[in-house]
Amino acid sequence: MRALVKTAAGPGLELIDIPEPVPGPGEVKVRVLRAGLCGTDLHIESWDDWAAGMLKPPLTVGHEFYGEIVELGEGVASGGGKYDLQVGLRVSAEGHVICGRCRNCRAGRQHMCVQTSNLGVNRDGAFADYVVLPATNVWVQPDDIDADLGAVFDPLGNAVHTALSFPMSGDDVLITGAGPIGVMATAIARHIGARYIVVTDVSDHRLGLAQAAGADRVVNVARDRIRPVQEELGMAEGFDVGLEMSGFPTALAEMIENATHGAKIAMLGLPKEPFAIDWGHVITRMITIKGIYGREMYDTWYRMTFMLQTSQVLRERIRSVITHRFPAEQWADAFAAARSGEVGKVIMDWSS
């Protein structure tokens, strides 16, 4: 089968033929139809310090995908029960494979597993014709979730997990970072009833995507500041909720500066290195800051599926994040587009 593989330590990937994987006990084999590019994949391709410390080549990369179950491993329930898996079902998958034995796993906090193995990072991933993974990680998709939408469920889950960390119905929301996850978080915030949504970035292209997804105002912080927009919208006391998606220290600093007393901030963006913030401001304004990683297993998956099922508008807004599509053979063009920064989500088609 075809697979996009990190064959050795160093920059680059190779599209090569490798043997098809065989599902072991408790696993399923999925034929990949669509796969989404993530910032993680770009780090792996360029072989930065993070990738060098995480990967052990050779390894098939990729973790965001949608496909069809083609084989069930031994012990996977298939007797026709309500929750049984069947060959032919269309699925997405949770890319964090948990240990099931640590304190968090045993306490029902699987998304906080201290021994998580990541699809496409620590085990062979989904940039291939077929991928094998635990049956418990498979998420069966309803008919109204098409292949493109199904391929972005992993990053959509990040957006939903972040946006639902704090109540925001009727609140004013600031989202810093208009990458694909920030844009999807904008659509979710609009769907669940935020009053005003302001989104910041340094790319006018990406800010345009955020506006189409439901932002009331967008601010290019390379040119302008947030405060005048806040005043224009009549938010004298500042934002109630902040979603930090960029990983830039200046974004968090400006978010704190424009937050109201008692504001809640959820942080998904990963900074490249440690940085200082004004803790006096955080303390005296009683601001809550919460770190977010991945998706809650599997509450987030239920919530994003059900929200999409209830709203054609939300489905279209999430789908609008996908701006580029490439056949798998043009993977290098797909990676180049993703690196340009002037895109939304990039999808590769593995169906042919």
Delimit the domains of the chain by residue range.
Answer: 2-152+321-349, 157-289
Q: What is the rounded average pLDDT of the residues 118-137? A: 96
So what's the pLDDT on residue 91? Answer: 97
Backbone angles phi, psi at 342, to 5 degrees: -100, 45
Q: Quick one: pLDDT band at residue 272, thresholds 50, 70, 90?
A: confident
So what's the pLDDT on residue 78? Answer: 78
Q: What is the rounded average pLDDT of the residues 86-90? A: 96
Backbone angles phi, psi at 301, to 5 degrees: -65, -40
Q: Residue 277 pLDDT > 90, yes or no? A: yes
Q: Quick one: pLDDT band at residue 133, thresholds 50, 70, 90?
A: very high
So what's the pLDDT on residue 341? Answer: 83
Q: Residue 83 pLDDT > 90, yes or no? A: no
Q: Quick one: pLDDT band at residue 312, thresholds 50, 70, 90?
A: very high
Look up residue 240 and give its amino acid. Answer: D
Each residue's pLDDT tens digit, 46-76: 999 989 999 999 999 999 999 999 999 999 9
So what's the pLDDT on residue 74? Answer: 95
Q: What's the N-to-C CA distance of the chain in angstroms?
A: 12
Residue 4 belongs to what H/E stretch? strand 2-6
For domain 157-289, give the fold.
Rossmann fold (3.40.50)
Q: Residue 199 pairs with which residues in a beta bridge?
A: 175, 218
Q: Residue 342 pLDDT > 90, yes or no? A: no
Higher pLDDT, 272 or 331: 331
Q: Where are the alpha helices (DSSP H) in 114-248?
A: 147-151, 153-163, 180-191, 204-212, 226-232
- In 3D space, the residue among 347, 286, 284 whose CA is nearest the CA of residue 147 turns out to be 347
Q: What is the rounded average pLDDT of the residues 166-186? A: 97
So what's the pLDDT on residue 352? Answer: 86
CA distance 163 to 296: 12
For domain 2-152+321-349, give the fold.
Quinone Oxidoreductase; Chain A, domain 1 (3.90.180)
Each residue's pLDDT tens digit, 91-122: 999 999 999 999 999 999 999 999 999 999 99
Query: How many other CB atoms are found less than 10 A from the CB of residue 15?
Result: 15
Each residue's pLDDT tens digit, 14-43: 999 999 999 999 999 999 999 999 999 999
Q: What is the rounded average pLDDT of the residues 130-143? A: 96
So what's the pLDDT on residue 236? Answer: 83
Query: How many other CB atoms are found less than 10 A from the CB of residue 240?
Result: 22
The string over 219-236, giving b where at least 16 C-beta atoms fall within 10 Å of a residue's C-beta and e elsewhere, is bebeeeebeebbeeeebe
Each residue's pLDDT tens digit, 222-241: 999 999 999 999 988 999 99
Report helix, strand or coil for 351.
coil
CA distance 172 to 29: 44
Catalytic residues: 40, 43
